[in-house]
Amino acid sequence: MKRSLIFLTFLGLILMSCTEEKNPFFSKFETPFNTPDFTKIKDEHYLPAYKKGIEDQKKEIAEIVTNSEEPTFKNTIEALDESGLLLDNVSAVYNGVKGTDTNPVLQKISKEIAPMLSAHNDDIKLNEKLFARIKSVYDKKDSLNLNREQELLLEEFYSDFVRGGANLDETQKNELRVVNKELSLLTLKFGDNVLEDNNAFQLVIDNKDDLEGLPQSVIDASSEAAKANKLEGKWLFTIDKPSLIPFLMYSSKRDLREKMYKGYINKGDNNNNTDNKKVLSKIAALRVTKANLLGFKTYADFVLDINMAKEPKNVYKLLNDLWKPALVNAKKEVKELQKLINKEGNDFELKAWDWWFYAEKLKKEKYAIDDEVLRPYFQLENVRKGAFDVANKLWGITLTERTDIPVYNPEVKVYEVKEADGKHIGILYTDYFPRASKQSGAWMDAFRKQYTIDGKEFTPIIYNVGNFSKPTADKPSLLSFDEVSTLFHEFGHALHGLLSKCQYRTLSGTSVARDFVELPSQIMENWASEPEVLRMYAKHYKTGEVIPDELIEKLENASHFNQGFITVEYLSAAFLDMDWHTLDKAEELSANEFENNSLNGIGLIPEIAVRYRSPYFKHIFSGGYASGYYSYVWAEVLDADAFAAFKEKGIFDQETAKAFRENVLAKGGTEEAMTLYRNFRGEEPKVDALLKRKGLL
């Protein structure tokens, strides 16, 4: 019996060894630039790799803690930054695939790994001996002769550990562990619920008359979607933006517009097993508990303490300064749209599901332009090349497609990014079309950040994700101008990751203050609409004809159109985010009642719905923007002011481009955000540039 047990144990070790050898995460990827080898990575590899990554980092932390030498920057701070490479590698790939191409197996893994990662993170942040070493280095920082990046890394770790509970007593630490574990599971559940609800809604049309008003391109796309779902002879519409927005803009069937619109705004609020109201209320209450434990009055105070805004009152001031003129404009727009409704002989009052439809009509009436006139000039491949060409003209970099690098989905394209002299910079993946396995929205992230260890540079591997209009059987992907702007926006984030020149992973790329991270993305949107740039990429998909000057002029003339709606819709969501996170009592409130009180409190008009209702507000309840959704408008202040620098000297001025790259894109979080901005611009930004650009002055 004993001999059998020994044999079985020995056999188990052999099998474990074989499993490790076969797991692609346990060895260097044999791919160009060590990109993730998606030909070998299987769902079953993630959990073992996560577990080994956690164990490896535990050993690395133990080595730091048990080091008998006096704590130094190198043996403590640098060692901590360099720990957890396997865990970071696995997490980056898993999170990337789960967000873009998920399945039930990956979702099950996330439920198992979330509490494990929460506990592991707490084990590090609440390790008294580790913090003692960090504090020892921190207390003598002025005598260490550190460079600025090293100073920031030291400050980042010290602050991160304090904010992670290092100074709490044992009872408080245990309470924080419980809160963090519960938050990790609830935020995961929130996102999964939104995806499931998003996929659950379908509007199936079997009467051709119900397609009235829809452009042929929209009808064709819905027909193909129906065929893909085995609904032959019918038309399928979903609440993915490429399907939803054109339907709201063009469908003459008001009852169907209402059905689509309500399907979208009621995600997570259908009183079923994917309902998010109690989930988000619990998240908000737990965040208050966490903030209080860490010595902050509210969660917003906790978050903003390390952002440019610093305090909630500063965010509210920014939002209110913009809200007043935006609301005035929105009310004027309501009157214009109501006048158009009545002019057509209708006696109903404008509702939220009517806005897109009548705004598009009014835009066509006032400026003789609409999205369907523009779409033929915005073939996705040309728009992508346009964004790449802008980067080339600004910094000389090139992006060349690579077909020898594995991808996680056939729709993904891969590009190698090089300097003008041919030096390798990094890799960019683009993944642009909606599918049931992909989260909605658009984003950028990294399979590997840029960093340096022992003089060896690890180049960045970045990906851009979108949910843009898909190609049909007889047409390529033709984008709306809003989608064009989004593509440029996410490419701006990608450049921030790609052009990073930092030593430490913790500070590189987009690891900057939350209210600074949107500057590189939003400034890129400016080039998308510049006449000079439009002539570079806006070419008719059939004829190759460059977009006519007449259309460019109309696009420019219409740039201030509907800005009241756009700004009010966005700002109301930013107010809602702040209101949820300035709660100072850990109470589970009625989500809808709280939301209504928040929006009524700022005077949101009924004709406009908040951009993100609480039950599907993923940015703040399952993303990284809690108390930070205002960041987009603050970044608009920054980018309006920053782009003015380019306009003053020319949009491709090399000196200005070099200054922006060196002081913003390359620096990551190696300096305070406002210092980086001042180093580029020479002074702090003013709100006036944004108000002028939006036509709100």
Read off the amino acid at residue 665.
L
Using CA atoms, how far residue 436 sits from 59, 246, 468, 487, 504, in Å, is 40, 19, 13, 20, 37
By residue count, the chain amounts to 697
Q: Are 73 and 155 within one domain?
A: yes
- Residue 639 tokens read as 């980018």
Contact 613, 197 (CB under 8 A): no
Q: Are 113 and 236 within one domain?
A: no
Residue 246, C-beta contacts closer than 8 angstroms, at least 6 positions apart? 214, 215, 218, 371, 480
Q: In whole numbers, what is the pLDDT of the chain averaged over residues?
A: 95
- Residue 424 tokens read as 């390798």
Residue 511, C-beta contacts closer than 8 angstroms, at least 6 positions apart? 449, 668, 669
Pairing of strands 424-431, 461-465: parallel
pLDDT above 90 coverage of the chain, percent = 94
Pairing of strands 203-205, 424-431: unpaired
- Angstrom distance (rounded) from CA 371 to CA 32: 40
Under the banding of pLDDT at 50, 70 and 90, the label for residue 3 is very low
Q: Are 19 and 154 within one domain?
A: yes
pLDDT of residue 694: 78
Domain presence at residue 663: no
Where among 225, 249, 265 does a domain terminate?
Answer: 265
> Dihedral of CA 274/277/280/281: which sign?
negative
Where among 245, 265, 285 does a domain terminate?
Answer: 265
Read off the amino acid at residue 42.
K
- Angstrom distance (rounded) from CA 676 to CA 659: 10
- Angstrom distance (rounded) from CA 673 to CA 238: 40
Domain presence at residue 323: no
Q: Are 100 and 223 within one domain?
A: no
For 558, which DSSP code? G
Q: Are 211 and 120 within one domain?
A: no
- Angstrom distance (rounded) from CA 360 to CA 218: 15
- Residue 271 tokens read as 């009183």
SS3 462: strand
Domain presence at residue 543: no
Phi and psi angles of residue 593, each rounded to the nearest 5 degrees, phi first: -65, -45
Residue 64 has pLDDT above 50, yes or no: yes
**What domain range includes position 215?**
201-265
Mean pLDDT of 326-345: 97
Residue 9 has pLDDT above 50, yes or no: no
Domain presence at residue 666: no
Domain presence at residue 405: no
Q: Which residues of 179-195 are buried (b: 16+ CB within 10 A; e: fewer)?
A: bbbbbbebbbbbbbbbb
- Residue 490 tokens read as 């996410």
Residue 402 has pLDDT above 70, yes or no: yes
Q: How many CB atoms lie within 10 A of CB 114?
A: 18
pLDDT of residue 692: 79
pLDDT of residue 615: 98
Q: Are 121 and 69 within one domain?
A: yes
Tally the C-alpha atoms within 13 A of residue 623's C-alpha that lie toward its C-beta.
Answer: 21
Q: Are 137 and 67 within one domain?
A: yes
Residue 366 has pLDDT above 60, yes or no: yes
> Dihedral of CA 622/156/639/528: which sign?
negative
Under the banding of pLDDT at 50, 70 and 90, the label for residue 21 is low
Q: Are 143 and 33 within one domain?
A: yes
Residue 8 has pLDDT above 90, yes or no: no
Under the banding of pLDDT at 50, 70 and 90, the label for residue 281 is very high
Domain presence at residue 533: no
Using CA atoms, how far residue 157 sits from 137, 184, 394, 651, in Å, is 11, 21, 35, 38
Residue 14 has pLDDT above 90, yes or no: no
Residue 82 has pLDDT above 80, yes or no: yes
Residue 12 has pLDDT above 50, yes or no: no
- Residue 448 tokens read as 């590997």
Show which residues are catalytic: 490
Our CA angle for 578, 583, 586, nearest 5°, is 140
Domain presence at residue 153: yes
SS3 sequence, 327-393?
A: HHHHHHHHHHHHHHHHHCCCCCCCCHHHHHHHHHHHHHHHHCCCHHHHHHHCEHHHHHHHHHHHHHH
Domain presence at residue 86: yes
Under the banding of pLDDT at 50, 70 and 90, the label for residue 693 is confident
CATH number, residue 112: 1.10.1370.40
Q: Is 230 left (phi over 0), alpha (psi -120 to 50) or beta?
A: left
- Residue 433 tokens read as 């079309």
Q: Which residue, 518, 490, 500, is CA-closest to 388?
A: 490
Under the banding of pLDDT at 50, 70 and 90, the label for residue 244 is very high
Reported as a single tens digit per residue, the pLDDT across 604-657 is: 999 999 999 999 999 999 999 999 999 999 999 999 999 999 999 999 999 999
pLDDT of residue 578: 98
Q: Are 137 and 85 within one domain?
A: yes
Residue 49 has pLDDT above 80, yes or no: yes
- Angstrom distance (rounded) from CA 500 to CA 510: 8
Residue 110 has pLDDT above 70, yes or no: yes
pLDDT above 70 coverage of the chain, percent = 97
Q: Which residue, 32, 23, 17, 144, is CA-closest to 429?
A: 32
Q: Which residues of 549-568 are buried (b: 16+ CB within 10 A; e: fewer)?
A: eebbebbeebeebbbbbbbb
Residue 471, C-beta contacts closer than 8 angstroms, at least 6 positions apart? 380, 477
Residue 138 has pLDDT above 70, yes or no: yes
Q: Are 146 and 236 within one domain?
A: no
- Angstrom distance (rounded) from CA 78 to CA 127: 17
Q: Are 132 and 37 within one domain?
A: yes
How many structural domains compose the chain? 2
The more confident residue out of 483 and 2 is: 483
Where among 236, 265, 294 does a domain terminate?
Answer: 265
Pairing of strands 424-431, 456-458: unpaired
